[in-house]
Structure 1
């Protein structure tokens, strides 16, 4: 049996063992036959399964250290009754309320940028990924997948929107933002910076620390079974036409869209290094350990340490300077979305307005569908560190919005407060999760404003019964949490989806339906890109590169695919919830 995952890839020979692992409470699949019945029952309940992980999902194969991927069986629906019971015959009474798609953590990366930390991969797995030269093509292939789907698999409703919940760029560079906006709206892209006629990054450095796909020597990745692929880097940087989404789309900002490598505060000290001609490709172990520790514990000192290393550190490569690598500000992030050339299927600004450009406030409301309101939050902290929080001004704004859309809510002491006549359902979107919002460092732009953590946000959301879901990313893991077991009338679901840079490279369809019995169902269905599952190391076409992107991510020696994949209860689910006002 291939040792490629902790539990959730299903093969014919491993089905019985994997089926047992795909259990949740009473939903236990004790045999391959039971699993087959669960998959069949799922298909019977769905309008369609084509193009989703209900139909098929990537599966690893082979016995060597480097695993190949192929199409495997679909994953069944797991019904979660943590917050409400599932009544019989609800499928026949169901009314669709909303259907949309979440992208998250695309991390479109300028791999040739001087301000990167590839040499820290052994300490920080996100510092370098063997597949990252293909991020732009991989994201475009995900867009192709969504374009191929006619609607949600359980309600059949067409998607009203796609929301990208942050870390759309990897290092908040203007060129990365340009790539992201083009992937989403469509157009020609050259995923290369500096001298676009050649590649100038660590993957042709000759250092054994990195996968050098076009070189014949044995680097540390090839020792783990990674292939040699002639022409890989030139193909990765080749221009192509991105189809762009056919569905309106919105953006939420993440820490990688806001700070240096998503970790260091942007104090303006490294701008000349971003656009300069010096790229550090390695440092000794002692300096690497110091910098990794600073990144975790003292972001401000890490900025200074990095600047020093770039001037006098280890092997430095001279690369072609590129002004397009300059980092963007929050205001510039919003302004770029307002460019008419980026409107695509709309809306204008993709959630951001001229007011956001003037103020730098990147939180807003938008319609998900009739009767369903979306609220996009900015959970980044400009003080640095990867995790986030909310400032008091944003928290008060959020509370005012919730009150304006609620007929009743609970005060901090649990007493019912009567409000207006409206009772829209509310879906919250953010980059960070409830458990990754503990970064309470003062915002350097508002040093006297208090910061608020995830526990405070959960407490606030539980005061408003019409909040049904909080959709987020950041962790690069699939995980769905139930909030409010003790008070079902104040409960909601937190839906966290894995990234599209690390395996399993998922996006998620979310459908909201009224069951006509006092409950709602939130269906969450994972989707993969349109890329083929099997790869051919001699195929450097656009489709071949997108397939390689997925397979390389599975084999990244510093990543933990099984952890990021999540459990069956975090994959394709029906999340039951009491209907607000009932």
Structure 2
């Protein structure tokens, strides 16, 4: 990507070029917010189509809350790792501009291997809007396609990176939907009998939202609407536009294990593709199974086997071999299918070697002089949280040394070697605080596993590491990883999912301020769906709007916890430039 000089400020903007500080947020009044938004607009090249302009905002008393377009979120400048000099906007040069997707969770809601009846114990087990995940992701793609580039540098996007949990239950059909959403093409978001919906939302059970029925289930008692034709519209064919920007994939735990939690040792393959779907169990059994899924995966598999032999209501669904779970090798190989090349690159980060070995970590160019490193932080032993194996950790360190002119050894001494120096951005699914799962990998039993804390320590030895970008938590959170030596500090940028509200993605821009500092601008975006909904509108745009609003009203979700605060939204993250 060529460098782009930031256009000149509008008249008078230079006086506020330093922007807002962390202490200015949250805003005590609407007037203060409006002043902050004015400053934000003055500093930006453009704000349209981002949360700098407007944000989905709840309105009305509920119990079912409608959404509307609310005021945008101003820029917050974070100076924990470096201070910015006045006038830097006029000197700024763009180094990179790209978009992060994360936790799309494209879900086969008709699959026999779903645990919807555990939603009251595990909120991700069932969502009232999950029949629309594929359409929601397609609407997010449309948003990215509508944007000409980053709001602060104006640089066009070099790529989109999806940081894991692209599928919900690592099924081949879900992977096909994900690849088709990203590359473009015809999609029928249904399995089994494609002429009808065969999931829990037409079961007549009061435990689920039955959208097409007047039956007063627990969701309708909380204000959920009746939407005639909702399920038939959700599973009808449509054509995804596909990204116009090259894209890459990072693997997540839901791309690797059963419901993102149970180890896939091939024991449930016949259940995946079979004709028996458990629709409900008694409270005691549900509590026992939920606890086992979260704490004892082996016991959970045994309990599931017992349930299928008479433990609760079992619905017969149409078998479908496309529901079979995929292996890491198949995951990589699918990305190499020419049908999914789209805007490229071929393989989207994965190579034939990855398809043969199942090693799903790799490097890729983010922009000229900026290297991306995609890690595989999943643990095939099960549980949702992650770690990395010794082989991958050693590979990572070798890559960092290859692209660094100097680094620090474990004693803090400077090591100088080589002439190739690139800025580095790390991408993974898990965060530094969700990489404590060091259970032995059943496929590499004698290989040690390493935590997020160990990874932070390693990254801090390499000054050219600017940021670690990740997902998994479904929450917006930006964390400074400070070090006593300023150039050894970096930012961790964690972005909310696109399945749970607030359904965000994030633009990230890297810029050189020509004053010994770098800026990382992070700007959240929403899908292209309208904010207002109409239960009678089951058009593509109408369904995408419902997808967002239903996610806000999910009774088991916690929107406030996932939203994050203003320091986690639209930010300028300052760093000391390595070697300065």
Structure 2 distance, partners of 1:313, 1:214, is 28
Shift of the alpha carbon at 1:27?
4.7
Q: Does 1:521 align with 2:493?
A: no
Shift of the alpha carbon at 1:26?
4.5
Shift of the alpha carbon at 1:63?
1.0
Matches within 5 A, 1:389-400: 389-400=387-398
1:80 maps to which residue?
78
TM-score (norm 2): 0.96
Structure 2 distance, partners of 1:23, 1:237, is 47
Asked whether the equivalents of residues 300 and 384 of structure 1 are also in contact (C-alpha less than 8 Å), the reply is: no
Pick the aligned partner of 1:145 from 140, 143, 146. Answer: 143
Match of 1:351, SS state, is coil
Shift of the alpha carbon at 1:30?
2.9
Structure 1 distance, partners of 2:417, 2:223, is 62
Q: State the Cα deviation string for residues 337-363 of structure 1 (Å, max 9, x = none).
A: 000010001000000000001111000
Q: Does 1:230 align with 2:228?
A: yes
Structure 2 distance, partners of 1:419, 1:331, is 36
TM-score (norm 1): 0.96
Pick the aligned partner of 1:300 from 283, 298, 301. Answer: 298
Structure 2 distance, partners of 1:394, 1:231, is 49
Q: Does 1:401 align with 2:399?
A: yes
Q: Does 1:62 align with 2:96?
A: no
Q: State the Cα deviation string for residues 360-416 of structure 1 (Å, max 9, x = none).
A: 100000000000000000000000000000000000000000000000000111111
Structure 2 distance, partners of 1:126, 1:64, is 23
CA separation of 1:226/1:26 partners in 2, compared to 1, >3 Å: closer, same or farther?
A: closer
2:453 maps to which residue?
455
Matches within 5 A, 1:208-357: 208-357=206-355
Structure 2 distance, partners of 1:30, 1:337, is 48
Structure 2 distance, partners of 1:502, 1:265, is 24
Deviating runs (4+, > 4 A) in structure 1?
none
Asked whether the equivalents of residues 21 and 78 of structure 2 are also in contact (C-alpha less than 8 Å), the reply is: no
Asked whether the equivalents of residues 482 and 492 of structure 1 are also in contact (C-alpha less than 8 Å), the reply is: yes
2:565 maps to which residue?
567
Asked whether the equivalents of residues 23 and 568 of structure 1 are also in contact (C-alpha less than 8 Å), the reply is: no
Unaligned runs of 5+ in 1: 1-21
> Alpha carbon RMSD of aligned pairs, Å?
0.9
Structure 2 distance, partners of 1:328, 1:286, is 32
Structure 1 distance, partners of 2:302, 2:176, is 28
Structure 2 distance, partners of 1:26, 1:140, is 36
Match of 2:218, SS state, is coil
Unaligned runs of 5+ in 2: 1-19
Asked whether the equivalents of residues 460 and 483 of structure 2 are also in contact (C-alpha less than 8 Å), the reply is: no
CA separation of 1:422/1:78 partners in 2, compared to 1, >3 Å: closer, same or farther?
A: same
1:165 maps to which residue?
163
Pick the aligned partner of 2:99 from 91, 98, 101. Answer: 101
Pick the aligned partner of 1:469 from 467, 470, 475. Answer: 467
1:417 maps to which residue?
415
Shift of the alpha carbon at 1:487?
2.9
Structure 1 distance, partners of 2:119, 2:339, is 37
Shift of the alpha carbon at 1:24?
3.4
Q: State the Cα deviation string for residues 73-109 of structure 1 (Å, max 9, x = none).
A: 1110000001000110000000000000000000000
Q: State the Cα deviation string for residues 240-268 of structure 1 (Å, max 9, x = none).
A: 00000000000000000000000000011
